[in-house]
Amino acid sequence: MPFEFNSAFYIKLGQKGCWEADSLEFGRLRIGWRNQTVDDINAGRWDLIEKQLRLEQKGKPPQVATTDLNRLKDITLSGPEDIWITFHGAKLWWARLSLAPVEEDRISKYRMTLDGWHDTSQSGKLLVANDLPGKIALLQGFKGTVCRVREKQLLRRVLDGTRSELASRIAAERVGLCSQLEKAITELHWKDYETLVDLVFRHAGWLRVSVLGQHAKAYDLELREAITGDRYVVQVKSQATRADLNKTIQDFSEADYRKVFFVVHSPAADLANAIDIPTHVELVAPSHMATLALNAGLTHWLEEKVA
């Protein structure tokens, strides 16, 4: 079912997030307004509370107290039909409030959530802050305590876990481009294909510790990860069968190499449909190489090679 709500609000749970952990653990939405009583808030004595806020903020512009009052109203009057979001642990969290009124304990005043705070979308995707649309992620920098989320449709899509039409169109274009790049790869001269493989893996940031095809007949390229020191092998074949892959599996053990990439320009049918490949060995067929080339920014390089 689509994710529906009436209004959406962002809340900062305490100064510098001091109430975040408690709120998320116990399903509460903690708030300040220390000088206002729970009875006055739940009874809706807004004129009295506004006078209190103006006295507290004497010397500040009148709209400051008005804004504080309106945000307290938002919290008090909100129900299960609204959505509240916050950020904690580099993730977005969302909740709906229960019908229970404002309560108070030794820490602060609070509202209880309907069923706790959630850090995943309806589709089960973890709501990592760095993966969110910019207009939603920017709410983390809001200086106040509470604000309305203006991008409701965007937030609804985030919490639904659905992609935008634009993202879907881009994905479709990428699929089409990868298909064309795969055709280009199959037309490459063997030495150009070796160069393409070298460029793709160097783009990944690994250090090449053997020159392509010069130091050992058993493999074509040895790489090392600069930080961890993990070793990788890239074996490049113009043509290969499942038997060739089996020999590579025997020659390069998991104990010696983090990953062995078996890159084939023209795989035989028994290799293209191979199953039961050990986890430390990865078969890279032209379709996979096309994706890697696209991600490495080598589209123009391939275009020129087949021009």
List, for residues 235-289, the tens digit of each pLDDT value.
888 899 999 999 988 888 888 889 999 999 999 999 988 888 999 999 999 999 9
The β-bridge partners of 281 are: 260
Measured distance CA(191)–CA(265) in Å, rounded = 11
Residue-level pLDDT at 219 = 59
Spatial contact of 114 and 84, defined as CB atoms under 8 Å apart = no
Spatial contact of 247 and 204, defined as CB atoms under 8 Å apart = no
Spatial contact of 4 and 70, defined as CB atoms under 8 Å apart = no
Residue 2 confidence (pLDDT) above 80 = no
User: Taking the domains of the chain in order of start, what are their residue ranges?
Assistant: 8-160, 166-305
224 alpha carbon, distance to own chain's centre: 27
Whole-structure pTM value: 0.72
Q: Could you tell me which residues come within 8 angstroms of residue 238 by beta carbon, excluding any fewer than 6 positions away?
A: 190, 193, 264, 265, 266
List, for residues 197-243, the tens digit of each pLDDT value.
989 988 888 888 875 555 555 557 888 888 888 888 898 888 999 99
Spatial contact of 197 and 261, defined as CB atoms under 8 Å apart = no
Q: CA distances (Å), 270 to each of 77, 137, 243, 245, 248, in order?
A: 66, 48, 9, 10, 15
Q: How confident is the model at residue 150 (pLDDT cuts 50, 70, 90)?
A: very high
Rg (the chain; Cα; Å)? 29
Helix or strand (DSSP H, E) at 192? helix 190-203
List, for residues 42-94, the tens digit of each pLDDT value.
999 999 999 999 999 888 898 999 999 999 999 999 999 999 999 999 999 99
No. of H helices and E strands in the chain? 12, 12
If we measure between CA atoms, which residue out of 277, 231, 279, 283 comes closest to residue 258?
Answer: 231
Note the CATH architecture for domain 166-305. Answer: 3-Layer(aba) Sandwich (3.40)
List, for residues 47-57, the tens digit of each pLDDT value.
999 999 999 98
Measured distance CA(151)–CA(254) in Å, rounded = 49
List, for residues 125-140, the tens digit of each pLDDT value.
999 999 999 999 999 9
* Averaged pLDDT of the chain: 91
Measured distance CA(180)–CA(185) in Å, rounded = 9
What interhelical angle do 46-56 and 62-77 show, nearest 10? 140
